[in-house]
Structure 1
Amino acid sequence: MAPVTRRALSRGCCRLAVVLALAVVASVAADDESSSGPNWHVVSVTSLLPTAVCTPKRAAASNSSALSVVHRHGPCSPLQARGGEPSHAEILDRDQDRVDSIHRLTAGPSTADDPASASKGVSLPARRGVPLGTANYIVSVGLGTPKRDFLVVFDTGSDLSWVQCKPCDDCYQQHDPLFDPSQSTTYSAVPCRAPECRRLDSGSCSSGKCRYEVVYGDMSQTDGNLARDTLTLGPSLSDQLQGFVFGCGDDDTGLFGKADGLFGLGRDKVSLASQAAAKYGAGFSYCLPSSSSAEGYLSLGSAAPPNAQFTAMVTRSDTPSFYYLNLVGIKVAGRTVRVAPAVFRMAGTVIDSGTVITRLPSRAYSALRSSFAGLMRRYKRAPALSILDTCYDFTGRAKVQIPSVALLFDGGATVNLGFGGVLYVANKSQACLAFASNGDDTSIGILGNMQQKTFAVVYDVANQKIGFGAKGCS
């Protein structure tokens, strides 16, 4: 074996140094290339937060019944009260209250607040433990003859619609004057013997009138008379629902803000979606705006945009009022996160308009967080925000590059989230991954409204499928 000279060794070291240097350059170049293109979001930091001015821009909806949807705490909302909005931590804490309520309902009667009621599931409209929590989005509806307009929360996790009514024993302060049944020529109380009354979980009879009670998961509550009246959803007579069944609340307390009531879009017969099915078709769609300073829509009927991708709507006998679908995978920056499909199938997934942050099984969330954080190493970490534990500080940066996240559903539907569905931005110094863990793999997953923003979300009840159409609103 020939001896190795010092000069040869020196030349070898130099060559090795050059090779290593070239490798580093190639690695940096590859990293720069990977952080741009379709698998990344590149956004200006100044655009992260919503503006203080309402910029209503929404796509034309499928029919004249389309209602404008706004975030109740944003500048487009008539309910906005300067200085009275909850903090981000309060919003997320309330969100957890709603999630806890959904988990109790879907876990079975042994863990529900009211075992006797929970044993019947949630197919009946008036019951204890219905989710409420943050109740983010509101619409304006007309009620009575002549009609009066009311600002109400809409919620896919509730069935019974209600407004506060005169005379009221104990009502919270709301935006508009209370609904006065005596001033409507088409109002009538639902009698105790009516089928709608007999279906109530917690209904009772008082002076021949049917009484209802709904206690929500955050302990907000509404009690009153079950009633019928004309509901107006658009500018013409063709947009009226005669004999619409709703709750006329006269004893209401809780975290409703200044909304005049709540309209349910669940799957029970008493929900707005079910009562409107004969007129508009079995289903509805909505588009939640990209920020609280923009506007979306809620439309009855199941008409879908041409670009909608569909997945099967799953029915569960224990909690049939909720809308279920099968989430089967997640992609980060175009690569599938390594999670066994059985992890998602174990408890299933409910889609909910009122939950803010999507909840995932523990193993699925850990894998998502690991993949996401691995591609965000260039950014300084920020403290956790309530339930959100993967946060970043963008202070001093003009632009940020964020890996894309896509949700994969049974049947091949792929929902590529916009930037607003990836990060929850409290401020420039605290932007957090907009997902959270259930804390275990046995509690049901929840597709929250952060991940639904700007999509036309179609609930095609007639054909038992749920669709997502990109760019449904801005």
Structure 2
Amino acid sequence: MANNLLISLLQICLLFLSFSTCALGNLPKFHVVDLHALTSKNVCSPPKDMERFKSVKPALKMVDRHGPCSTLQPAEKLSLKQILSNDQSRVDSIHHRVSAISGKGTTSGPLSPSQITAQSGNSYSVGNYIVHVGIGTPSKTLTLVLDTGSDVTWTQCKPCQRFCYTQQDPIFDPSQSSTYMNVTCNSTPCNDVNNNSCSGSTCLYGVQYGDGSYTVGYYAEDTLTLTPDVIQNFRFGCGQNNKGIFGEIAGLLGLGPSSESFVSQTSDKYQRVFSYCLPPVSSSTGYLNFGSNSDTSNTNRTPMKPGPFYYYLTMTGLSVADKTLPISPTVFSKPGTIIDSGTVITRLPPDAYQALKSAFRENMTQYKMAQSYSILDTCYDFTGFDNVTIPSVGVQFENNVSLDLDSNGILYPISNTQACLAFAGNSDPNDMGIFGNVQQSTFNVVYDIPKGEIGFSPDAC
């Protein structure tokens, strides 16, 4: 009876209010969700706050590379199952990498010239969001995936001695740039590259992803243009041997914490501060900002520690319908948590995910459950519904920072009538938790490395 009353009140709320979220007296908070708003349209929508976007420089427009806002036109569009499968490959790679740096293996140290020629691989989801930057003099526009879990920025370069995958932009030709130079072997910048070697006096780099996909080539420097800013002597990988199906991108913009990343190389100009807003659906646009313009007045900040390869923060709890779940903080603190722009679905420790799943299902008994979909196991059949009421989901971090997730961060649409809880559990309680990009969507996420903080402000795009 009480549950029916709640549903009736929520329906009244939807009828008379234009908000997507309603808090009714002392009743738990629920979201009233238009199912059509969860799915992408066939046309691109402009930034939500166009005036703010125009006023902040450099503000790079950021879009989902699979959506209608993207300039990429892959020959074959990835299915949702392929995207989620690639996402699991990325997570497996992160867990392996974290395990290695914790003493269970090794991923660092210089490579010999024979080792740096990596083995061939398949598609690897290096990230979902793209920006356009210029490289060289004169500047050539290239489409790069941004990735907070990678450090080396790289692009394919002519003459591609062995392999180049198909990309939409013309492949960068260093011989046509008056400011291009190879980095010298045994120099400090060369030694800073995690996987490096030498060819004569020239520094070589190598980046190999979790499934075996790779880029190998010359470590070089050239002019990087982020309109209107120009970065001189920016170091990047000029890929000569590249293998993998990267979705026609030209390369990657590395926003990780290490010394060779874009963030570290531009520290004098942008003070190692950047922010982004990931759009809620692939037909919307977001942004990537650098420097002091990255912050907003209503940013809630939690401590962050730049570690090897990733940005670490402390998750402390979860809530469903404004009710904090009974999860011991050690469940989160023991494995730790990173924030990652390239992981799609947030991964939680098994006990935390079980508590979240159970509470969510208890608040969704009015809807018919559907079969699991790939890595998602709490799915619903909404046939016959245009709008549904779902419980709010909150994620808590250290320093009493609590994020009330956007509805797009709670439900992951599978079709026009089916959606799933947009979280997954790790199989091992010792595996690192990952705060993924679906849950970050619509927040202005500020990385303030000098202060050791990550900030979140809602409803930014």
User: What TM-score do the two structures reach when normalised by structure 2?
Assistant: 0.90
AA aligned to 2:153 is: S
Are 1:395 and 2:395 matched, yes or no? Answer: no
SS of 1:93's equivalent in the other structure is helix
The corresponding residue for 2:64 is: 71
SS of 2:430's equivalent in the other structure is coil
Write out per-residue CA displacement over residues 125-169 of structure 1, whole angstroms, 9 at most, x where no aligned residue: x9999x952510000000111100000001000000001111112
Cα deviation, residue 116, structure 1: 4.2
Alignment length (residue pairs):
434
What is the correspondence of 1:194-213 to structure 2 with a 5 Å cutoff? 194-213=187-206
Whether contact under 8 Å (2:108, 2:194) holds in the other structure is: no
In 2, distance between residues paired with 1:30 and 1:287? 33
Judge which range, 57-66 or 166-175, deviates more.
Answer: 57-66
Cα deviation, residue 119, structure 1: 8.2
The corresponding residue for 2:44 is: 54
The corresponding residue for 2:393 is: 405
The corresponding residue for 2:302 is: 311
Describe the shift of the 1:368–1:398 C-alpha distance in structure 2 as closer, same or farther (beyond 3 A): same
SS of 1:230's equivalent in the other structure is strand
The corresponding residue for 2:17 is: none
Q: 1:260 is matched with which residue: 234, 244, 250? A: 250
Judge which range, 297-306 or 322-331, deviates more.
Answer: 297-306
Aligned sequence identity (%): 47
Describe the shift of the 1:413–1:132 C-alpha distance in structure 2 as closer, same or farther (beyond 3 A): farther
The corresponding residue for 2:93 is: 101
Unaligned runs of 5+ in 1: 1-23, 121-125
Are 1:214 and 2:198 matched, yes or no? Answer: no
Whether contact under 8 Å (2:192, 2:260) holds in the other structure is: no
In 2, distance between residues paired with 1:178 and 1:31? 56
Cα deviation, residue 465, structure 1: 0.1
Whether contact under 8 Å (2:118, 2:216) holds in the other structure is: no
Cα deviation, residue 199, structure 1: 2.4
Are 1:468 and 2:456 matched, yes or no? Answer: yes
The corresponding residue for 2:369 is: 381
What is the correspondence of 1:118-197 to structure 2 with a 5 Å cutoff? 118=108, 133-169=125-161, 170-197=163-190
Describe the shift of the 1:34–1:348 C-alpha distance in structure 2 as closer, same or farther (beyond 3 A): farther
Q: 1:226 is matched with which residue: 186, 211, 219? A: 219
Cα deviation, residue 31, structure 1: 5.5
Whether contact under 8 Å (1:287, 1:456) holds in the other structure is: yes
Cα deviation, residue 100, structure 1: 0.5
Judge which range, 72-81 or 362-371, deviates more.
Answer: 72-81
AA aligned to 1:171 is: C
In 2, distance between residues paired with 1:58 and 1:274? 30
Judge which range, 463-472 or 32-41, deviates more.
Answer: 32-41
Unaligned runs of 5+ in 2: 14-21, 24-28, 111-115
Cα deviation, residue 329, structure 1: 0.7
Describe the shift of the 1:434–1:128 C-alpha distance in structure 2 as closer, same or farther (beyond 3 A): farther
Write out per-residue CA displacement over residues 340-399 of structure 1, whole angstroms, 9 at most, x where no aligned residue: 111111111000000000000000000000000001011111111100000001111121
AA aligned to 1:269 is: S
The corresponding residue for 1:420 is: 408
Whether contact under 8 Å (1:127, 1:202) holds in the other structure is: no
Describe the shift of the 1:109–1:48 C-alpha distance in structure 2 as closer, same or farther (beyond 3 A): closer
Cα deviation, residue 338, structure 1: 1.3
| Structure possessing the higher radius of gyration over alpha carbons | 1
In 1, distance between residues paired with 2:117 and 2:165? 20
In 2, distance between residues paired with 1:429 and 1:146? 49
User: What TM-score do the two structures reach when normalised by structure 1?
Assistant: 0.87
Cα deviation, residue 91, structure 1: 0.6
What is the correspondence of 1:440-455 to structure 2 with a 5 Å cutoff? 440-455=428-443
In 2, distance between residues paired with 1:63 and 1:419? 27
AA aligned to 2:149 is: G
Are 1:245 and 2:238 matched, yes or no? Answer: no
The corresponding residue for 1:347 is: 335
SS of 2:86's equivalent in the other structure is helix
Whether contact under 8 Å (1:69, 1:298) holds in the other structure is: yes
Describe the shift of the 1:466–1:47 C-alpha distance in structure 2 as closer, same or farther (beyond 3 A): same
Whether contact under 8 Å (2:74, 2:248) holds in the other structure is: no
Describe the shift of the 1:219–1:27 C-alpha distance in structure 2 as closer, same or farther (beyond 3 A): closer
In 2, distance between residues paired with 1:94 and 1:448? 14
Cα deviation, residue 202, structure 1: 2.6
Whether contact under 8 Å (1:58, 1:297) holds in the other structure is: no
AA aligned to 1:398 is: D
Write out per-residue CA displacement over residues 400-422 of structure 1, whole angstroms, 9 at most, x where no aligned residue: 11111011110011111011000
AA aligned to 1:280 is: Y
Whether contact under 8 Å (2:131, 2:146) holds in the other structure is: yes
Q: 2:350 is matched with which residue: 337, 362, 366? A: 362
Cα deviation, residue 276, structure 1: 1.4
Judge which range, 464-473 or 42-51, deviates more.
Answer: 42-51
